[in-house]
Amino acid sequence: MKCLIVAAGKGSRLWQRGDVKPLVPILGIPLIERVIRSAVEAGLDDFYVVSGYRGERVRTFLDGLARRCRVKITHVINEAWEQGNGLSVLKARKYLNEHFVLLMADHLFDPSIVHELIRQPPNDGEILLAVDSYTSSPLVDMKDVTRVKIVDGRVSDIGKGLMPFNGFDTGIFLCTPPLFEALEHVMSEDGDTSLSGGVHYLAARGRVKAFDIGGRFWIDVDDPNAIDKAERSLLARLRGKQNDGPVSRYLNRPLSINISRYLARLPVTPNQISLASFFCSVLAAKLFALGNYLALTAGGFLAQFASIIDGCDGEIARLKFQESKFGGWFDAVLDRYADAFLLLGLTWHVYTNNTNKFVVFIGFMAIIGSFMLSYTADKYDSLMRSLTRSPRGIRIGRDVRVFLVFLGALLNQPLPTLVIIAVLMNGEVIRRIFVCREQH
């Protein structure tokens, strides 16, 4: 299915953040790139982008984006960009003779909205409008949003300042070619060059169906305040990762998200962050091995810092659309090495002050328990998902393990820490074995 994106406007209210609205960055990624990448995630790959104001810069950027995303982007030029956005839609008429998705270059959205929208094609002569029925949404600018009135699943009226209303126009459409005829009609008869004018014409004839997005994320980024809201919302969507343990959920994740907010604006990659976290762990292990309390404490803080920024790689990957199977695997490999170095360093610290061979055994059990806990995680988590229920009790994972190392270093109790980690990690592995055995 083809996708038309309107990106012709000037966006004068965003001049403080950038002089070309589609290229204004949101957490390091230009607006129009976020829209296109979200559409790609929803399953689209054939784009027609209408540019106007400073269109040459927009088109140059899109050419590079098309190569990076491996999608097709066809340029449509609207020299009369100062007129309504309906004219921009009409400029693409010759390219679109079947169903197509229509998006705005300044409207961010959850990709699942478009994914579900394209699975509900309208009848010939109709269009489908994604509508937000959450009329108290904090992301909506009530002074500027286009309102809709829905009756029996169809849009009966649309417009800014509309009263009464029971939904918002999200700027996400699934259209058929008769939309062009409607736009031509209102332009010739009423001089209305807006997209809303054409939609209003079709709505009055019962030809606009409503698709309720169910409270999912979308926002019209029209001014600096909306940019701030969009960034906060995108960052908030990083919280609550399914596999987060208690330390990650309540300590590491809130801190890592704030760090990621700044890292997203820098030219760093998720894999580079993974490496930085790994080297912090190696340095922490080196500090442990020095054998004195000051170095032990410094190593504990550094280990916990590494655990915090270890969450940033995945966050940056999601924020900047850089997720990859290799990245996830690479991060997991580095985590296992980091765990081994940390526990070896802690064992070395204890052994230099107490040469009892029992220390070596406890250190070994802590390391092997940590490895086996990570090894069994995928199988166990997959089983829990298949049973459509969450794991019982506290999730024991790497976040808990590193936090115990941090506390043990801070309290100068490295040997009890190794004992606790050895017992806790191996005990959790045994518990998982019995749970999995019961289900098979």
Q: What is the pLDDT of residues 273-295, one digit of tens each?
A: 999 999 999 999 999 999 899 99
In three-state secondary structure terms, 322 is coil
Pairing, β 167-175 against β 100-104: antiparallel
Element (H, E) at 154: strand 154-160
Element (H, E) at 212: strand 208-212
Distance of CA 352 to the CA centre of its chain: 46
Is 54:12 a contact under the CB 8 Å cutoff? no
Mean pLDDT, residues 149-167 taken together:
94
Q: Give 267's DSSP letter.
A: T
HSE-CB of 319 using CA atoms within 13 angstroms: 36
Is 104:220 a contact under the CB 8 Å cutoff? yes
Burial 190-220 (b: 16+ CB within 10 A, else e): eebbbbbbbbbbbbeeebbbbbebeebbbbb
Alpha helices in 290-324 (DSSP H): 293-319
Q: 309: alpha, beta or left, given left = phi > 0 and alpha = psi -120 to 50?
A: alpha
Return the residue matching tokens 């580095």: 334
Tell me how far apart the alpha carbons of residues 425 and 204 are, in angstroms, rounded to a whole number: 65
| Residue 216 pLDDT exceeds 70 | yes
Q: Which residues, 6+ apart, have CB-to-CB distance to 250 below 8 Å?
A: none
Tell me how far apart the alpha carbons of residues 17 and 19 are, in angstroms, rounded to a whole number: 7
Pairing, β 25-26 against β 29-30: antiparallel
- Residue 33 pLDDT class (50, 70, 90 cuts): very high
| Residue 433 pLDDT exceeds 90 | no
| Residue 221 pLDDT exceeds 60 | yes
Mean pLDDT, residues 52-71 taken together:
96
Is 397:245 a contact under the CB 8 Å cutoff? yes
| Residue 356 pLDDT exceeds 90 | no
| pLDDT one-digit tens code per residue, 387-419 | 755 555 677 889 999 999 999 999 999 999 999
Return the C-alpha torsion angle 118, 124, 126, 130, nearest 10.
0
| Residue 384 pLDDT exceeds 60 | yes
Which domains are delineated in the chain?
2-232 (3.90.550.10), 244-439 (1.20.120.1760)
Q: Which residues, 6+ apart, have CB-to-CB distance to 214 below 8 Å?
A: none
- Residue 15 pLDDT class (50, 70, 90 cuts): confident
Over the chain, what is the mean pLDDT? 93
Mean pLDDT, residues 229-252 taken together:
88
- Residue 60 pLDDT class (50, 70, 90 cuts): very high
Q: Which of 134, 128, 214 is nearest to 172 (CA)?
A: 128
Mean pLDDT, residues 300-316 taken together:
96
Is 240:165 a contact under the CB 8 Å cutoff? no
Return the residue matching tokens 């098979």: 440
- Residue 242 pLDDT class (50, 70, 90 cuts): low
| Lowest pLDDT segment from 41-45, 54-58, 244-248 | 244-248
Give percent of the chain above pLDDT 70: 97
- pLDDT for 388: 58
The end-to-end CA distance of the chain, in Å, is 43
Residue 414 exposed, middle or buried by CB count within 10 Å (0-12, 13-18, 19+): buried
Pairing, β 218-220 against β 146-151: unpaired
Tell me how far apart the alpha carbons of residues 362 and 422 are, in angstroms, rounded to a whole number: 7
- Residue 434 pLDDT class (50, 70, 90 cuts): confident
| Lowest pLDDT segment from 129-138, 162-171, 350-359 | 350-359
Mean pLDDT, residues 188-208 taken together:
95
Tell me how far apart the alpha carbons of residues 208 and 206 are, in angstroms, rounded to a whole number: 6
